[in-house]
C-alpha cells in the first residue's frame, strides 16, 4: 500500500486512458465485459506501478462502473476486493473507488445484494484511516437496516464499533450526528449506563452555533429521556431549559409554552437543595411565565415561604396536572411523580 503522498508520476498514462476507457466501455456494451476487464487490469497495473494517481483512479472507478452497469453484483464485489488488495495501491485511488461504489448501494435489487455490497465495502475500509468516514457511513447504513428489521441490539452494537470522536477527517456536524445516533440506539436498547458514557463525547458548546439547533434539540430530547428513567428531575428541568433557550423554540409561542410548562413541573418535582432553590427563583423571574397563569401560580407557591396545603394544591392544580404526561392518571410513572409532588409540598412546609 502506497503511503498516499502525491508524487509526480514516472509515466503519465492520461493519453492511454483517454483511448482505453472509451474502448473498454464499448467492449462491455458489446457483451465482451471479460475482455474489457482484462485490458483494464493490465492498464491498472501500469498506472499503479508508475505512481500515476490520476490515471490509476480513473481506471479503478471505470472498472467498478462497468461491473455495476453489467448488473453483475457478485462481480462488482469481487473486483472491489481484488483492486483494494493490489500491491502498492494508491490510497486516494482506493478512496475514490470506494466512494464511487457507495453510490450503487441504493440501486441494489434486493436487501441481500445490498448487505453483500455493504459488507464488501466495510471489509476493504476496515483499519484504513483514509477511508474512516466512508466506513462510518457504511456502518450507519448497516445499523439502519438492522433497526428496520427490529434488531435494536444488533443495530446499536454495530454502531458502537466506531469511535467517531477520534476521526480527524470527519466534519464536526456529521460526527455529532453520528454520536447522537449511538445515543439513541443505546437508549432504545435500554443500556442507560452506556448511553450516559456516550453522551459525554459531545461538546455542548458546539450547539451555540445557530445552524446546529436541530442537533441540540435531538441531544436534549435524548438526555431528557435518560434523566426521566433515572428520576433525576433537576436534570430533566435543566435539559428542558436548554431546549427552551433554543431560538427555534423561543420564536414559536406554542413550542416554548409547552417546554416552559415542563420546566415548572420538573423544578417542582426536584428535591430541595441550594441548586434547586436558585434555579427555581431564576425560572420564577422569567417574564414569559406570566403568560402561563396556573404555572406561574404553582411556581409562586414554591417560591414563597408560606405553608402549602396538599388538598388546596390538588383542588387548584389537580385537573390541569393530572392530564399532562408528567402526572397522568393511571400511568405508573405519572402516578409515581404525583406522589413525589405530594412529598415536595410536604417538604416545602417543613423548610
User: How do residues 136-173 score in pLDDT, each as one tens digit?
Assistant: 999 999 999 999 999 999 999 999 999 999 999 999 99
Are residues 59 and 81 located together in one domain of the fold? yes
Supply the mean pLDDT for the chain: 95
User: 97 and 6, same structural domain?
Assistant: yes
Residue 308 has a pLDDT of 85
Residue 90 located in a structural domain? yes
**Same-domain check for residues 309 and 326:** yes
Q: How many domains does the chain have?
A: 3
pLDDT over 70 (residue 350): no
Per-residue model confidence as pLDDT tens digits over 11-34: 999 999 999 999 999 999 999 999
Do 60 and 135 lie in a common domain? no
Long-range contacts of 298-302 (CB under 8 A, 24+ apart): 298/264, 298/268, 299/264, 299/267, 299/268, 301/348, 302/267, 302/268, 302/344, 302/348
Cα 311 from chain centroid (whole Å): 46
pLDDT (tens digit, 9 = 90+) per residue, 33-46? 999 999 999 999 99
Task: Tell me: do 165 and 195 sit in the same domain.
Answer: yes
Question: Residue 154: inside a domain, yes or no?
Answer: yes
Query: Residues 344, 214: one domain?
Result: yes
**175 & 212 share domain:** no
- Tell whether 117 is covered by a domain: no
On whether residue 21 sits in a domain, the answer given is yes
User: Within this chain, do residues 222 and 298 fall inside the same structural domain, yes or no?
Assistant: yes
Q: C-alpha angle with apex 142: 141 to 147, nearest 5 degrees?
A: 95
How many residues belong to the chain? Answer: 351
Let me know whether 271 and 350 are in one domain: yes
Q: Assess whether 162 and 265 both reside in one domain.
A: no
Q: Domain range for residue 160? A: 126-202
Of 160, 184, 202, which residue constitutes the final position of a domain?
A: 202
- Whether residues 211 and 350 share a domain: the answer is yes
In terms of pTM, does the model score above 0.85?
yes
Count of CB atoms situated within 10 Å of the CB of 129: 14
* Residues 139 and 95 occupy one common structural domain: no
Amino acid at each position: 500500500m502506497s503511503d498516499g503522498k502525491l508524487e509526480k508520476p514516472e509515466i503519465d498514462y492520461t493519453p492511454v486512458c483517454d483511448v482505453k476507457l472509451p474502448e473498454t466501455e464499448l467492449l462491455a456494451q458489446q457483451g465482451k465485459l471479460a475482455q474489457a476487464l482484462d485490458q483494464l487490469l493490465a492498464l491498472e497495473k501500469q498506472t499503479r506501478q508508475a505512481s500515476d494517481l490520476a490515471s490509476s483512479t480513473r481506471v479503478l472507478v471505470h472498472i467498478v462502473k462497468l461491473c455495476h452497469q453489467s448488473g453483475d453484483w457478485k462481480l462488482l464485489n469481487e473486483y472491489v476486493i481484488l483492486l483494494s488488495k493490489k500491491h502498492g495501491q494508491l490510497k486516494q485511488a482506493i478512496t475514490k473507488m470506494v466512494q464511487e461504489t457507495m453510490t450503487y448501494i441504493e440501486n441494489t435489487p434486493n436487501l441481500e445484494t445490498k448487505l453483500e455490497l455493504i459488507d464488501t465495502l466495510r471489509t476493504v475500509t476496515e483499519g484504513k484511516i483514509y477511508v474512516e468516514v466512508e466506513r462510518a457511513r457504511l456502518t450507519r447504513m448497516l445499523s439502519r437496516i438492522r433497526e428496520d428489521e427490529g434488531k435494536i441490539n444488533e443495530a446499536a452494537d454495530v454502531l458502537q464499533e466506531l469511535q467517531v470522536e477520534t476521526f480527524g477527517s470527519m466534519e464536526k456536524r456529521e460526527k455529532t450526528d453520528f454520536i447522537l445516533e449511538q445515543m439513541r440506539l443505546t437508549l432504545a436498547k435500554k443500556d442507560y449506563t452506556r448511553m450516559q458514557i456516550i453522551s459525554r463525547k459531545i461538546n455542548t458548546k458546539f450547539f451555540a452555533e445557530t445552524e446546529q439547533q436541530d442537533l441540540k434539540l435531538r441531544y436534549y430530547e435524548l438526555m431528557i429521556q435518560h434523566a426521566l428513567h433515572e428520576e433525576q428531575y433537576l436534570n430533566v428541568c435543566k435539559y428542558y431549559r436548554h431546549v427552551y433557550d433554543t431560538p427555534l423554540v423561543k420564536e414559536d409561542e406554542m413550542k416554548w409554552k409547552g417546554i416552559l410548562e415542563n420546566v415548572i413541573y420538573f423544578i417542582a418535582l426536584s428535591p430541595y437543595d441550594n441548586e434547586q432553590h436558585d434555579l427555581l427563583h431564576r425560572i420564577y423571574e422569567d417574564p414569559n411565565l406570566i403568560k402561563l397563569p396556573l404555572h406561574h401560580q404553582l411556581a409562586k407557591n414554591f417560591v414563597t415561604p408560606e405553608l402549602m396545603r396538599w388538598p388546596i394544591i390538588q383542588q387548584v392544580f389537580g385537573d390541569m396536572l393530572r392530564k399532562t404526561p408528567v402526572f397522568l392518571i393511571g400511568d405508573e410513572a405519572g402516578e409515581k411523580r404525583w406522589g413525589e409532588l405530594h412529598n415536595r409540598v410536604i417538604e416545602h412546609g417543613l423548610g
